[in-house]
Amino acid sequence: MNSIAYAHARALVPLAGVELVAAASRNPKNVSDFCGEFPGVQGYTDYREMLQKEKPEWVSICAFPPDREEMAMAALESGCEVLVVEKPFAVSMGAARRILALAETKNARVYVDHQRRYGRCFEWFQDQVAGGEYGAVRQVNLQHPGKGFINFGPHLVDTCLLAFEGRQPVAVQAAVDWSDPAVYQGVKTEKNIVATAFFDDKSRLTIESGDRFTQPCLQAVCENGLVELYLSPHDATGSICRAVGGGRPQQSPVFGEHFHHNDSDMNLFYDRAFPDMLDCFRTGKPCRIDAAYALTGLEIILGLYESARQGQRIALPLPDGVSLNSSSQH
């Protein structure tokens, strides 16, 4: 379960009317190991050959970010109807827009795997900020522990955007510390980030990332109270969910789920997300993880790196040429 491809496959296998038929990796051992875990699956070392021969209707892309655009475009051109891409689903605004434009032309559904939208503590956060009891959200503060925001940061930004439903980000201003760079899945990563995204109603999202934090934290500052989600460290079970408003605190129930994955079922969030994706595809309903939601989060993330590169506040929407690769050269 340390491989995302295995997580996708385990969630797909039980789905009624779905057959796992093929897998591709440039590494022959990866192919052999995967096909050993899922008997009957045809293995390929060339994904284009797989697409041509198998003509899959559902394609999951679990490769590293720099490879995702090329694979997504090839899958859509081959006629796939459901495309699931890991986050971030592109490394540039142009790539993201090209994928979604081709999907629209081909009448295909694109989902981005923000599967934590199906975690109980994340659902609780959304319900509290959307319920209206604490008034309109004016600011959301995000704290991300450790280096490399591009790893878990997109999930946190995606959750924060649940508090800004119906609003559009219009500008980003950020500073990024590249003094101790590393590489994560083919993308250069930073040491620390301080950033603010501004929305069209003057609300804002603040982002702090770095090793001075010990656990992820989301705090929604509302007109009449606060909604806070403290995500548990890896050696603990359950997260702290609390809301304060009208002079009284509210403590949430203990959900018994780790924010990263469930302690006893490492595939839990995938097992909830994939049946919903399939149902939404079959019925035409909106899905929690439609790519349109992820596009906004991607623009904020790319925007903060670009703002740091330029050394100034930048307006959104971003031009197609803005990418993680260009931003990380600063």
Report if residue 122 sits inside a domain.
yes
User: Domain count of the chain?
Assistant: 2
In whole angstroms, give the CA distance from residue 167 to residue 300: 13
* SS3 of residue 227 by DSSP: strand
Report if residue 311 sits inside a domain.
yes
241: β partners: 229
Same domain, 193 and 304: yes
In eight-state DSSP terms, residue 324 is H
Q: Where are the alpha helices (DSSP H) in the chain?
A: 4-12, 28-37, 47-54, 65-77, 93-106, 120-130, 149-161, 268-283, 291-310, 324-327
CA dihedral for 93, 98, 101, 107, sign (positive or negative)? negative
Cβ contact 220:227 at 8 Å: yes
CA dihedral for 293, 294, 295, 297, sign (positive or negative)? positive
Same domain, 234 and 134: yes
Same domain, 90 and 29: yes
Report if residue 264 sits inside a domain.
no
Same domain, 38 and 92: yes
Same domain, 164 and 296: yes
Report if residue 280 sits inside a domain.
no
Same domain, 18 and 33: yes
What is the span of the domain harbouring residue 221? 117-259+291-315
**Strands 137-145 and 204-210: what pairing?**
parallel
Same domain, 163 and 204: yes
The tens-digit pLDDT sequence of the chain (330 residues) is: 458 999 999 999 999 999 999 999 999 999 999 999 999 999 999 999 999 999 999 999 999 999 999 999 999 999 999 999 999 999 999 999 999 999 999 999 999 999 999 998 899 999 999 988 899 999 999 999 988 999 999 999 999 999 999 999 999 999 999 999 999 999 999 999 999 999 999 999 999 999 888 889 999 999 999 999 988 765 555 678 888 886 666 666 677 777 776 556 788 999 999 999 999 999 999 999 999 999 999 999 999 999 999 999 999 999 999 998 654 433
Same domain, 49 and 153: no
65, 89, 115 - which closes a domain? 115
Report if residue 86 sits inside a domain.
yes
72, 94, 115 - which closes a domain? 115
Report if residue 133 sits inside a domain.
yes
In eight-state DSSP terms, residue 125 is H
87, 115, 143 - which closes a domain? 115
CATH at residue 73: 3.40.50.720
Report if residue 301 sits inside a domain.
yes
